[in-house]
Structure 1
Amino acid sequence: MWVLAALIAIAVGIFSTPDWRAAWLGVGLGGCLIAGFAVQLWSGRAAGFTERVAASVLGAALVMGVISLGFGLAALVPG
């Protein structure tokens, strides 16, 4: 799940304009949430479902945040 979040964040950072980057990251995080639900439902285990989904979405948010921080810092560098 976290690899998917990293790929989405990198794609958003490359292909979106800086004005729309935060909005597209929110859409990407929503996609990670849906993918997290799908993966956890597919596993078929009921015990700890909420905790596993929450951990995957929190991890995805952290990964996307770190990558977007990198793009934000790169935008500050003149060149």
Structure 2
Amino acid sequence: MDLPPLAPRRAFGGIVAVWVAAAVAGTIIGFFVPAEWRIAWLGVALGLCVVLAFAVQLAYGRSQAFVERVALSTLGAAIVLGVISLGFGLASIVPR
């Protein structure tokens, strides 16, 4: 019989860490990638965020609600990158 952990670590920090990584990746893409390649690189960044979400949640070491934590991390990263891509689109239609 397994004993429950006395004070489990909070999983929300790992979820937010993936969101922050998505924001940093989107910002880096915005500064260093030409405009015609940004959407493709945002897809690559989202794929890396999915891998990062799995790695962070596996490092957390608990199987309870694993799928929900990974899904929340990935969904948040997709929303963050979507907002950043919306900013790229709006910036492209503003005349310089």
Q: For this structure pair, what is the TM-score category when the shorter chain's length is used for normalisation?
A: over 0.9
3-state secondary structure, aligned to 2:35: coil
Please tell me the residue identity of whatever aligns with 1:28.
A
Q: Which structure 2 segments of 5+ residues have no match?
A: 1-17
1:25 paired residue number: 42
Structure 1: 4+ residue segments shifted above 6 A: none
Provide the TM-score with structure 2 as the length reference: 0.79
Residue of structure 2 in register with 1:42 after alignment: 59
Could you say which residue in structure 2 is the equivalent of 1:52?
A: 69
**RMSD over aligned Cα atoms:** 0.7
**1:70 offset after TM fit, Å?**
0.7
Q: Whose Rg is larger?
A: 2
Aligned length: 79
Identity within the alignment, %: 58
**TM-score between both structures, scaled by the size of structure 1:** 0.95
Distance across 1 between alignment mates of 2:84 and 2:39: 12
Aligned to 2:78: 61
| Unaligned stretches of 5+ residues in structure 1 | none
